[in-house]
Amino acid sequence: FMAGQFSVPDDFDRMGGEEIEQLFGVNT
């Protein structure tokens, strides 16, 4: 993903958000 192009959909948390966060190394 390009940093400027990456947008978080409203249903992000319902799309396996925790797994995605681990892939991106993001803690929210």
Q: What is the pLDDT of residue 22?
A: 76
Q: What is the pLDDT of residue 21?
A: 73
pLDDT band at residue 14 under the 50/70/90 scheme:
low
Mean pLDDT of 7-23: 66
The yes-or-no verdict on residue 2 having pLDDT over 60 is: no
DSSP secondary structure string for all residues of 1-28:
--TTT----TTGGGTTHHHHHHHHT---
Percent of the chain at pLDDT exceeding 70: 29
The yes-or-no verdict on residue 28 having pLDDT over 60 is: no
User: Long-range pairs for 6-11 at CB < 8 Å and ≥24 separation?
Assistant: none
Q: What is the pLDDT of residue 3?
A: 54
Measure CA 15 to chain center.
9
